Amino acid sequence: MATTFSGLQFALSRPCIPSTPRFADAGTMVLGGKSKVGPWNNLTSASHIASVQPLHQSFTSSSIKSVKIVTKAMSESSANTPVPGLPINLKGKRAFIAGVADDHGYGWAIAKSLAAAGAEILVGTWVPALNIFESSLRRGKFDESRILPDGSLMEITKVYPLDAVFDNPEDVPEDIKTNKRYAGSAKWTVQEVAESVKEDFGSIDILVHSLANGPEVTKPLLETSRKGYLAAISASSYSYVSLLKHFLPILNPGGASISLTYIASERIIPGYGGGMSSAKAALESDTRVLAFEAGRKRKVRVNTISAGPLRSRAAKAIGFIDMMIDYSTVNAPLEKELSAEEVGNAAAFLASPLASAITGTVLYVDNGLNAMGVGIDSPIFKELDIPKEQH
C-alpha cells in the first residue's frame, strides 16, 4: 500500500499486502495512527456538511455507476453563520487522492482535512487492497476515523482501483494481468483512471500523491540491487510524474497538486535504504520542475510535504519507526509526537486559495526536526541547560 517514509514515510504505490514489502503514503511513513478529532477543531470552513446518504451508498468502485455526493465542512445549522479570520474553504472543489487503502495514513488524513474544508473526495486504492478497503467502508470499520469536526462523517464519493506503477494497459506484464489479486478489477492503470475520472466528473481541482514502494527498503544502499533501486524510483517518484501528466488536462486552472516526501532525501537516515532516499530526492527535484511546467501550462501549483515519522502499518514493518518517533520527540524543537491530522491540515492549506502564490516548495511538517543540526539527546550535550518537557 502506499506508504512513504516521510518523516519515515513509506509510500507504496501499492497497499501493504503480503508479498514484497510495500510502503505507502508517499514519501512518508505515510500511514499514521488512527485519526483523532482534536486537531480538526483548528480547521474551520465557511462551507457545510451534507451527509445525506450513508457511506455504503456514497462510494463505488470503477465498475459501478457512481453516486455523486458532495462533502462539505460544518453543520447545516451553521452554514449561514459568519466565520471569523481566514477560513480554509474548499467548497465546490473536487480532490483525487492516490494511495488510500486504510484509515491509518497520511492519505486518509489529507482526505479528511480536504473534506472538512468542503471538498468532494475521490480516492485511488491499490488494486489488491480494493476489496478489503471497500468492504471495511461498507461495514463501518472506518466510521470512527471518518468523524469530521462537526461530528458528521467524511464521505467518499468514489473509489477507483489504481496501480500507479503502470501508465497504461500496454505496460502491464502478463503475470500481473493474470494475478488473482487483480481479478475482477479493470481500468486501473494511471491513464485509465484519469480517463475514468474525466468521464465520471469532468474535472478535479486537487491531486494528491500519497504512495510509494521500496521493495528493498531494509537493505543498505550498497546492498541494493539495480532492480530494487529502479523499482523504488518508479513507484515512489515517477508515479507522481505520471499521475500529474495524465491528470493535468482535467485539473482546473488554479488547482493544486501535492505529494509526500521525507527528509532522507537530504539527510542520512540509516535503515531507510533500497533506493528510497534517492527516490525522495528525485521526488523533490521533480516537484520544482513540475511546478514550472504545470504552472505555465495550467496554472496548477505543485508542492510536496516533508512529514515527520508516523506510526503506520507499513512503517512498523520496517522495524524502527518507534525509535524514529522517540528520536524526533526528544530532539525536535516541538517536543511532541506528530499527528496525521497535522499533515492533513497542511495539505488543506496548500490546496486552498490561502496558498495561491506557493508552488515548487517542500513544506516541512515535522515539529521542526529538519532545522536541527545535532541530536540533543547525545551525552555530549548533557551539561547544557536545554529545556525539556517532563513526560
Indicate which residue of 72, 93, 158, 280 is catalytic: 280
Q: How many CA atoms lie within 13 A of 42 on its CB side?
A: 11
CA trace torsion 112, 118, 119, 123 (10° rounding): 30
Torsion of CA 139, 207, 236, 375, to 10 degrees: -90
Residues 32 and 45: their CA atoms lie apart, in Å, by 24
pLDDT computed for residue 314 by the predictor? 59
pLDDT tens track for 29-75: 333 333 443 445 445 433 333 333 333 344 444 444 444 433 333 43
> Which three three-digit cell numbers place residue 270?
540509516
Is 78 catalytic? The answer is no
Answer yes or no: is pLDDT of 252 > 80: yes
Distance CA 159, CA 186 (A): 13
Instruction: From the candidates 236, 237, 265, 328, give the one annotated as an active-site residue.
Output: 237
Degrees, nearest 5: CA angle 313-315-317 = 75
pLDDT > 70 in the chain, percent: 75
- Residues in contact with 367: Cβ distance below 8 Å, sequence separation at least 6, in sequence order: 308, 328, 329, 332, 333, 334, 335, 336, 338
Q: Map out the domains of the chain as residue ranges.
A: 94-367
Order across the sheet with 251-261: list the strands.
Answer: 158-162, 120-126, 94-98, 204-209, 251-261, 301-307, 362-365
Q: What is the pTM of this model?
A: 0.80
β-sheet bridge partners, residue 302: 257
CB 244 within 8 A of CB 191: no
For residues 344 and 109, is the Cβ–Cβ distance under 8 A?
A: yes
Q: Which three cell numbers stand for residue 130?
A: 480494493
Mean pLDDT of the region 176-190: 96
**Whether domain 94-367 has CATH 3.40.50.720:** yes
Look up 93 and say whether it is catalytic. no
Closest by CA position to 155, among listed 229, 67, 224: 67
pLDDT-based confidence at residue 388 (cuts at 50, 70, 90) = confident
Tens of pLDDT, residues 137-175:
999 999 999 999 989 999 999 999 999 999 999 999 999
